[in-house]
Amino acid sequence: MKDVSDKKFFGTLSQKELLKLYATHVNSPKVRFFKGAGIGVIPGKRWGVKINTLEGQKPTDPPMELYNCHTCGGVYNLGHGNRKIVQTLKDALDSGLDIGDHLQLSEWRAILGKKLAELMPPGITKTTFGVSGGEAVDTAIKFSRAYTKRKKCISAIGGYHGHTGFALATGDPDFKENFLWNLSDFKQVPFGDGDALKKTISDDVACVILETIPATGGVLIAQEGYFSEVRELCDDHGVMMIIDEVQVGLGRTGHFWAIYGGLYEKEKVIPDFMVLGKGMSAGIYPISTCSYKPFIEKAVFKDDPFIHISTTGGSDLGCVVACEMLDIQSDPEFLNHVIEMGKLFSSGLEEIAEDNSELIKEVRGRGLMWGMEFTNETLGQLAMLSIIKEGVLQNYCGNKKDTLIMMPPLVVQEEEIEEIIKKIGEGVKKIKHLA
Ligand SMILES: Cc1ncc(COP(=O)(O)O)c(C=O)c1O
């Protein structure tokens, strides 16, 4: 990468100046949080599977080099600055392509729609585009209501689908109360509990929305058969089944979808809606998608094709980037790499858990998405900080703070996994005396 761009775009402010400006003009509680945590994690230059922080933990320390195992929940599935994606975007910009006009037809929305239909579980052939995951979730719930003419929605306790309107309403009370958004039509049930869903679902429910592996909820793995039961219950009551694979789709499990063979190879459940975001951007240009079965279209757009629109959702440039990303990530060789790296990563994490059984309760996950559950929340949070100090960025799950979620870029290589595991082991060792 050229040096000139470094000077123009990274380190234009000292950390001290940045914290002051951020607190004054953006979000002062966030600045207080990071200062309190005592870690200088302000991302600076980034490349491949790593990021540099602007400065060290103390201003006198050199910048830290961190492996990015947070990846913003899969935004950086292809690492930072994937050359193929960057080149595609540059070419598109040079050729004069731009956001496009959402009121017109778009060749790139058509091309991406077709590509998604070919990759989706069978029968999911239509796509409506957005910018963020929350927007795509809102779209799925909105369309479910239009189709069923019902208002109710069931989601999982601890699940997370975004902070926008309907998406926020599906979430835990902590996120909603401040905004007076506890809507009576939105109910939550424990994840993985078919009986609880059976008791709650009824003929006046519009949709059930679930992440295949709830990420914010603690990287939870449902027992085999759970999603088939959800499908059956939805069918029995005429309820739409929405699957949110914003984090776990696009190859994260080593299979392209988690719901359709990624969680359990033989359990191939087909939802009515599939929602994607984050990694659709390849970390370069935001785009999200809400894909669905075609029978839903008529109920939504019956009188007015403009009844649902989004100015920058499904921009031409975003579609070009997403098409390139899908070509890379759906390649069987790419998926096989995820499976192989996942085996290495998970066996490394298992070993750390065995050596520290007084601290770590369980390691669980699939492919390159793993949760490490500590015996309590304090240990989980301290482990997160300790591992960052060793050089691996990851975080605790927002709705289950005893569990660290680790999602290396899918392009991570064997030697990098080995180094990451070594650093995680060191970080855990440093808090062992606190158990
Ligand atoms: C599973 C899941 N769904 C939806 C969202 C919302 O995505 P966004 O932040 O792009 O609105 C998130 C964000 O973290 C997520 O993890």
> What is the CA(160)–ligand 1 centre distance, in A?
7
Contact 155, 171 (CB under 8 A): yes
Contact 107, 312 (CB under 8 A): no
Cite the residue boundaries of each domain of the chain with CATH code 3.40.640.10. Answer: 83-329
Helices (H), 270-365: 295-301, 316-329, 332-355
pTM over 0.85: yes
Q: What is the mean pLDDT of residues 202-220?
A: 98
* pLDDT in the model for residue 429: 97
> What is the CA(161)–ligand 1 centre distance, in A?
5
Q: What is the mean pLDDT of residues 181-195?
A: 97
Which residue is it, tokens 């696009």?
250
Q: Which two tokens stand for residue 284?
A: 């370069």
- 367: region left, alpha or beta (phi > 0 left; psi from -120 to 50 alpha): left
> What is the CA(162)–ligand 1 centre distance, in A?
5
- Counting ligand 1 atoms within 8 A of each CB, the residue from 137, 213, 274, 278 with the most, and so the one to mutate, is 278
Reported as a single tens digit per residue, the pLDDT across 329-356 is: 999 999 999 999 999 999 999 999 999 9
| Residue owning the nearest CA to atom 8 of ligand 1 | 133
431 or 1, which is more confident: 431
Tell which atom from ligand 1 comes closest to the C-alpha of 135: 11
* pLDDT in the model for residue 337: 98
Question: For residues 162 and 169, what is the distance between their CA atoms, to the nearest angstrom?
Answer: 9
* pLDDT in the model for residue 40: 66
Which residue is it, tokens 């029968």?
123
Q: Is the pLDDT of residue 5 over 60?
A: no
Q: Is the pLDDT of residue 212 over 70?
A: yes
Q: Is the pLDDT of residue 39 over 80?
A: no
What average pLDDT does the chain have?
95
Reported as a single tens digit per residue, the pLDDT across 219-277 is: 999 999 999 999 999 999 999 999 999 999 999 999 999 999 999 999 999 999 999 99
- Counting ligand 1 atoms within 8 A of each CB, the residue from 161, 170, 281 with the most, and so the one to mutate, is 161
Give 3-state DSSP helix, strand, coil % of the chain, rounded to 5: 45, 20, 40
Residue 218 one-letter amino acid: G
| Residue owning the nearest CA to atom 13 of ligand 1 | 162
CATH number of this structure's domain 38-81+332-434, picked from the four choices 1.20.1080.10, 3.90.1150.10, 3.40.50.970, 3.40.50.1820: 3.90.1150.10
Contact 275, 140 (CB under 8 A): yes
Contact 424, 390 (CB under 8 A): yes
> What is the CA(432)–ligand 1 centre distance, in A?
33
- Percent of the chain whose predicted confidence (pLDDT) is above 90: 88
Contact 188, 176 (CB under 8 A): no
CATH architecture of 83-329: 3-Layer(aba) Sandwich (3.40)
Question: For residues 383 and 360, what is the distance between their CA atoms, to the nearest angstrom?
Answer: 10
- Counting ligand 1 atoms within 8 A of each CB, the residue from 247, 248, 252, 275 with the most, and so the one to mutate, is 247
Tell which atom from ligand 1 comes closest to the C-alpha of 245: 1
Alpha carbon of residue 306 to chain centroid: 29
> What is the CA(246)–ligand 1 centre distance, in A?
6
Name the pLDDT band for 195 (thresholds 50, 70, 90): very high
> What is the CA(281)–ligand 1 centre distance, in A?
13
Q: Is the pLDDT of residue 3 over 60?
A: no
Cite the residue boundaries of each domain of the chain with CATH code 3.90.1150.10. Answer: 38-81+332-434
Q: Is the pLDDT of residue 172 over 60?
A: yes
| Residue owning the nearest CA to atom 2 of ligand 1 | 161
- 160: region left, alpha or beta (phi > 0 left; psi from -120 to 50 alpha): beta
Tell which atom from ligand 1 comes closest to the C-alpha of 132: 10
Residue 32 one-letter amino acid: R
Burial 149-169 (b: 16+ CB within 10 A, else e): ebbbbbbbbbbbbbebebbbb
Pocket of ligand 1 (CB under 6 A): 73, 132-134, 137, 160-162, 211, 215-216, 244, 246-247, 277
Question: For residues 168 and 161, what is the distance between their CA atoms, to the nearest angstrom?
Answer: 7
Q: Mean pLDDT check: name the lowest of 6-15, 118-127, 218-227, 346-355.
A: 6-15
Q: Which two tokens stand for residue 315?
A: 């921009």
Burial of residue 352, with CB atoms counted within 10 A of its CB: 0-12 exposed, 13-18 middle, 19 or more buried: buried
| Angle subtended by helix axes 316-329 and 332-355, to nearest 10 | 70
| Residue owning the nearest CA to atom 14 of ligand 1 | 162
Tell which atom from ligand 1 comes closest to the C-alpha of 211: 1
Tell which atom from ligand 1 comes closest to the C-alpha of 216: 16
Tell which atom from ligand 1 comes closest to the C-alpha of 277: 10
> What is the CA(133)–ligand 1 centre distance, in A?
5
Reported as a single tens digit per residue, the pLDDT across 357-379 is: 999 999 999 999 999 999 999 99
Tell which atom from ligand 1 comes closest to the C-alpha of 137: 4
Tell which atom from ligand 1 comes closest to the C-alpha of 131: 10
* pLDDT in the model for residue 15: 82
Instruction: Quickly list DSSP for 133-197.
Output: HHHHHHHHHHHHHHHH---EEEEETT----SSHHHHHTS-HHHHGGGT---TTEEEE-TT-HHHH
Question: For residues 197 and 190, what is the distance between their CA atoms, to the nearest angstrom?
Answer: 8
